[in-house]
């Protein structure tokens, strides 16, 4: 059973810090696939700290959460590097093509938005996955976290025009690709 004071304080800190923490994690992560895990782990640890230390333990929520996120990122990549020494992080699909297991999480970006058909969805995900890390971050922040272009610009430390360019150019290319693939499916 959760203490109501802890739940209330957690929600307060989350609402005050979530956008800044998400922006920080996004700028520091090596891959967009890692952002969600690190974000969740950071707030899980906040909840544990509030339960263990009490609701008055966190004096400056933003500084506390950014420091916590920084540690989570460091631990995540240190652990990932150590795991690579002992465990293969590659696998093969049905066509015996190798792929990085850590890259799979990118599939969450587009799945809910496209219901046209599975082939088009797979094409879109594959296309977004092939883009640069900065383009994937822009897509992630814009579509999964509903951040505005100015917020993304500030979070990633790039100009608004650069964010718009990455977003709109990729959307146009994706539309062209999907309309081309869709028309091929109907020609049959």
Per-residue DSSP letter, 99: E
Looking at residue 177, its pLDDT comes to: 75
Mean pLDDT, consecutive 10-residue segments, the chain of 188 residues?
81 92 86 86 91 90 91 76 51 58 43 46 76 87 80 90 90 77 49
Looking at residue 11, its pLDDT comes to: 93
Looking at residue 97, its pLDDT comes to: 62
Q: Are 19 and 148 in contact (CB under 8 A)?
A: no
Q: Give strand pairing partners of 92.
A: 98
Looking at residue 16, its pLDDT comes to: 93
Looking at residue 96, its pLDDT comes to: 63
Q: Are 50 and 58 in contact (CB under 8 A)?
A: yes
Looking at residue 128, its pLDDT comes to: 82
Domains of the chain (ranges plus CATH)? 4-86 (1.10.1740), 109-187 (1.10.10.10)
Q: What are phi and psi of 108, to 5 degrees?
A: -70, -15
Q: Name the one residue in this structure whose structure tokens are 């996955």.
A: 129
Looking at residue 17, its pLDDT comes to: 93
Looking at residue 39, its pLDDT comes to: 92
pTM above 0.75, yes or no: no
Q: Are 90 and 104 in contact (CB under 8 A)?
A: no
């Amino acid at each position: 059973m959760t203490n109501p004071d802890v739940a209330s304080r957690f929600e307060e800190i989350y609402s005050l810090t979530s956008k800044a923490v998400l922006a920080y994690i996004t700028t520091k992560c090596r891959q967009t696939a890692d952002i969600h895990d690190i974000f969740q782990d950071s707030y899980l640890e906040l909840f544990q700290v509030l339960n263990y230390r009490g609701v008055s333990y966190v004096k400056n929520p933003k500084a506390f959460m950014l420091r916590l996120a920084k540690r989570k990122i460091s631990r995540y990549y240190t652990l990932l590097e150590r795991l690579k020494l002992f465990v293969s992080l590659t696998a093969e699909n049905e066509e015996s093509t190798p792929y990085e297991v850590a890259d799979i999480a990118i599939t969450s970006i587009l799945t809910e938005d496209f219901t046209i058909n599975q082939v088009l969805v797979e094409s879109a995900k594959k296309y977004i996955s092939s883009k640069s890390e900065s383009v994937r971050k822009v897509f992630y922040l814009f579509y999964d976290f509903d951040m505005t272009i100015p917020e993304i610009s500030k979070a990633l430390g790039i100009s608004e025009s650069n964010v718009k360019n990455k977003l709109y150019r990729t959307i146009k290319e994706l539309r062209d690709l999907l309309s081309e693939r869709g028309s091929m499916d109907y020609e049959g």
